[in-house]
Amino acid sequence: MLRTAIIGLGRWGQSLVRSVQGKSDLIRFTCAATGTRAKAEGFASSAGLELKDSLEAVLADPSVEAVVLATPHLQHAEQVARAAEAGKHIFVEKPFTLTKASAQHAVAAAERAGVTLALGHNRRFHPHMNRLRALVRAGELGTVLHCHGEMASPTGLFLPPGGWRTDPDQSPAGGMTGLGIHLVDGMIDLFGAVEAVACQSVHRAAPSGTDDTTSVLLRFRSGQTGSLLAFTTAAPTYRFMVAGSAATATITGATLDDFSLQPVPAASGAPAAPATQDTIAGFDTLRAELDAFARAAQGGTPYPLTSAEMIHGVAVLEAIIAAVGTDRFVAVA
């Protein structure tokens, strides 16, 4: 059982704790530190967490083997480096960092310390993403033409001005850091490196005045194309589609519940094989990713997101941010 501390006990930090506490045989949260201690005391007590005063206090505790960082994005690189220096395994929420240089710095710190570093792209762990990955890698979809992703959340309607999630320095390019980065990671996982991006990001409805409507075009080194949409003031939505010369596969549902496969008709005019649809409801991707982190930290199966993919995902995000308002493609570093 990996004895773990949670750093940051806002809404998402609490969701991470709830996903495994008392349920997992691999990981247990024992303590926490957060910037809003008074707000977190009730939850910490109910979850059996010792509240500490700071990250430094957590890192000084020899009983803590690992830390989970559910903190503002701009703090991640420094916190990863400090945790690595202290010899703690590290799980960090997405986005990893906001610049390629800071991502490289964080990865180098973890590698020097010999600790496990994991990144919270929970949708990679859903069985429907596993199925899609297997179809792509086996060539079952034929030549991949294009991939498209959509994510939407209404949270931007309820976030007041002044919070870090509405700070354009912490959350640039609309919904990219909260939503779109998941789609970018899925595309990198399935199709490899992104070569260039173009982006438009505008404000339409968020009371905070921040961008809430973001669209991106992507060009991959392989030659295929991609696109994504991220909305922070719309009903919860998830859609990930891969169009191939043999079939189109689509995952839908806010929690990725539904999978469909539509074969292309035969050239002879014979009818196409029937479309198939499958549903998996209630799969807990947060528990799956934290269990995978614990296995890796304890010498088991390596975490299925490489350091190179972590860094490239940040490089793509950095290029998307740079592309906003330029009306041109920006090369990914």
Q: What would the mean pLDDT of 63-67 be, rounded to a whole number? A: 98
Question: What pLDDT was estimated at residue 166?
Answer: 84
Indicate the CATH number for domain 124-286+313-331: 3.30.360.10
Q: DSSP letter for 239, please.
A: E
Looking at domain 2-120, its CATH superfamily turns out to be NAD(P)-binding Rossmann-like Domain (3.40.50.720)
Tokens 């809404």 label which residue? Answer: 11
Q: Does the fold of domain 124-286+313-331 match that of domain 2-120?
A: no
Q: What would the mean pLDDT of 248-264 be, rounded to a whole number? A: 97
pLDDT 10s digits, 91-109: 999 999 999 999 999 999 9
Q: What would the mean pLDDT of 176-193 be, rounded to a whole number? A: 98
Categorise residue 212: left if φ over 0, alpha if ψ from -120 to 50, beta otherwise. Answer: alpha
Question: What pLDDT was estimated at residue 20?
Answer: 98
On the question of pLDDT at 7 being above 90, the answer is yes
Identify the band that residue 268 occupies on the pLDDT scale cut at 50, 70 and 90.
low
Contact by Cβ (8 Å): 168, 210: yes
On the question of pLDDT at 269 being above 90, the answer is no
pLDDT 10s digits, 211-248: 999 999 999 999 999 999 999 999 999 999 999 999 99
What are the residue boundaries of the structural domains of the chain, listed by start?
Answer: 2-120, 124-286+313-331
Pairing of strands 247-252, 237-244: antiparallel
Q: What would the mean pLDDT of 124-136 be, rounded to a whole number? A: 98
- Poorest-pLDDT segment among 181-185, 206-210, 297-301: 206-210
pLDDT 10s digits, 189-221: 999 999 999 999 999 999 999 999 999 999 999
Question: What pLDDT was estimated at residue 267?
Answer: 72
Q: What would the mean pLDDT of 244-257 be, rounded to a whole number? A: 97
Long-range contacts of 164-172 (CB under 8 A, 24+ apart): 164/72, 166/206, 166/208, 166/210, 168/210, 168/211, 169/74, 170/72, 170/73, 170/74, 171/73, 171/210, 172/98, 172/321, 172/324
Reduce the DSSP state of residue 14 to 3 states and report it: helix
Q: What percent of the chain has pLDDT over 90?
A: 91
Among candidate residues 292, 323, 306, the one with its CA nearest the CA of residue 2: 292
On the question of pLDDT at 272 being above 90, the answer is no
Question: What pLDDT was estimated at residue 162?
Answer: 77
What's at 42, amino acid-wise?
Answer: G
Question: What pLDDT was estimated at residue 163?
Answer: 82
On the question of pLDDT at 169 being above 90, the answer is no
Among candidate residues 234, 239, 237, 242, the one with its CA nearest the CA of residue 252: 239
